Amino acid sequence: MDAASIDRAMMRHALVLARRGLGRTWPNPTVGAVIWQMDGDQPIIVGRGFTQPGGRPHAETQAIAMAGESARGASMAVTLEPCAHHGKTPPCAEAIVAAGIVRVVSALEDPDPRVKGGGHAILRNAGLDVSIGVLAEEARAVNLGFLRKILDYRPMVTLKLAQTADGFAGVVGQQLMVSSSASKQRVHLARASHDAIMVGVGTVLADNPDLTCRLKGMMPFSPVRVVLDTHLSTPMGCRLVETCHTVPTWIVTGPDTPDEKIEAFRKAGVIVERAALGQDHRIDLRDALCVLASRGLTRILSEGGPTLAEAMALANVIDSAEIYSSPECLNREGIVALRPGLKAVLGDGSRFEVSHTVTSGRDTLDHYARRD
């Protein structure tokens, strides 16, 4: 195995580790790190780590702790540039130097202004061999949420929608189970890999949802629940409010919502933030996402139905979409799942591509990925 192949293999391992932290490391990125020594022409892994829940400890220090003295003279693959600033912990770049590692393979430069090349500079100035860009696109996909937060001042958004074979998401005034059991399980797994689930107040009023991860053993991985609610119409007795001390509930409301109304929700344990209104006199999605990013969120799963999905398409804030299609028809008038704006956006090959299609129970699941 040549050196370039070894670098890619170790980086793939680091990326697998990084994915373990998705949904649990915000506001920090989720990073994977692998340390190895060479035994002839074969790499021997001596340490590995990934960012722990809450964002600390960092992947690099986890890997170094596992490697111990075996880190001296070793190489490290890391999915994002090691940090260079003094925060709650010393810089990882300095820890790598102190551990005696002689070579670092880094997938991406960290765009955070506190780092932005500084970590790589610390390593190079200490005499380490530094290689940047190995599996960069794969690493970007893993940390797209963090990159969006830093560069675009908003979290990454994954849109989830389900439709019948004839294109309907439901029926007005009636709950309709469109997705199969297997598809529902996939959605719960998707929830666990995001920082937050977001819906509009219409979903709360119609369904009174829990918005938690209800697969066995996964309730602790339930993310923040976010409600977009222009006039703060969320019922105080709904499940999202009643359970907010167990699973956090945040509400984004309009600028004119009375202070006393907001205070009542805050006393109940709900976090309430204000955002600007758009021309349609509803919450401006870009401003709302900016507010959520300022609170640290990096990855949001939108489960708010066709109205919110259409608004997101028109606001150009969708990064990926998961469209579940049932083989069964509604065979009557219903709520159209993919409205004109969303349909046009997802069908525009210059903006989105179908990255892959899978079978989910009886359903078909199309994954759409944004091209930029």
Higher pLDDT, 255 or 2: 255
315: left (phi over 0), alpha (psi -120 to 50) or beta: alpha
Q: Do both 135 and 176 map to the same domain?
A: no
Name 156's bridge partners.
299
pLDDT tens, residue by residue, 225-282 = 999 999 999 999 999 999 999 999 999 999 999 999 999 999 999 999 999 999 999 9
| 94 labelled catalytic | no
> In the prediction, which pLDDT does 171 show?
82
pLDDT tens, residue by residue, 85-103 = 776 678 999 999 999 999 9
Arithmetic mean of pLDDT, 76-86: 93
Q: Do both 176 and 72 map to the same domain?
A: no
Q: Do both 89 and 153 map to the same domain?
A: no
Under 8 Å between Cβ of 31 and 53:
no
User: Minimal CA–CA distance to 250: which of 211, 202, 193?
Assistant: 211
CA separation for the pair 78, 71 (Å, rounded): 14
B/e letters for 226-259, b = 16+ CB within 10 Å, e = fewer, are bbbbbebebeeebbbbebbeebbbbbbbbeebee
Q: Do both 96 and 157 map to the same domain?
A: no
| 177 pLDDT above the threshold of 80 | no
Under 8 Å between Cβ of 184 and 211:
no
Q: Do both 106 and 165 map to the same domain?
A: no
CATH number at residue 297: 3.40.430.10
**Three-state DSSP class for 197?**
strand
Q: Is 305 exposed, middle or buried (0-12, 13-18, 19+ CB in 10 A)?
A: buried
> In the prediction, which pLDDT does 12 show?
98
| 128 pLDDT above the threshold of 70 | yes
CA separation for the pair 127, 56 (Å, rounded): 27
Q: Do both 135 and 173 map to the same domain?
A: no
Q: Do both 226 and 353 map to the same domain?
A: yes
> In the prediction, which pLDDT does 331 show?
87
> In the prediction, which pLDDT does 281 show?
93
Q: Do both 101 and 155 map to the same domain?
A: no
Q: Do both 115 and 211 map to the same domain?
A: no
Higher pLDDT, 154 or 89: 154
Under 8 Å between Cβ of 135 and 11:
yes
pLDDT more than 70, % of the chain: 98
> In the prediction, which pLDDT does 179 show?
85
Domain ranges, residue 270: 145-370
Considering 120, 142, 164, which residue would you say is the last residue of a domain?
142
Considering 123, 142, 161, which residue would you say is the last residue of a domain?
142
Arithmetic mean of pLDDT, 112-117: 93
Residue 21: φ, ψ to 5°? -95, -5
Q: Rounded to two decimals, what is the model's pTM?
A: 0.94
Arithmetic mean of pLDDT, 74-95: 90
Catalytic residue among 60, 81, 310, 322: 60
Quick one: tokens of 259? 């202070």
Arithmetic mean of pLDDT, 193-204: 97
Q: Do both 219 and 172 map to the same domain?
A: yes
DSSP 8-class letter at 171: B
Considering 79, 107, 142, which residue would you say is the last residue of a domain?
142
CA separation for the pair 320, 159 (Å, rounded): 6
CA separation for the pair 348, 355 (Å, rounded): 13
> Whole-number mean pLDDT of the chain?
95
Number of domains in the chain: 2
Q: Do both 58 and 137 map to the same domain?
A: yes
pLDDT tens, residue by residue, 33-49 = 999 999 998 999 999 99
> In the prediction, which pLDDT does 88 show?
66
Q: Do both 129 and 163 map to the same domain?
A: no
Arithmetic mean of pLDDT, 77-84: 96
| 176 pLDDT above the threshold of 80 | no
The residue count of the chain comes to: 372
User: Minimal CA–CA distance to 233: which of 212, 211, 206, 210?
Assistant: 206
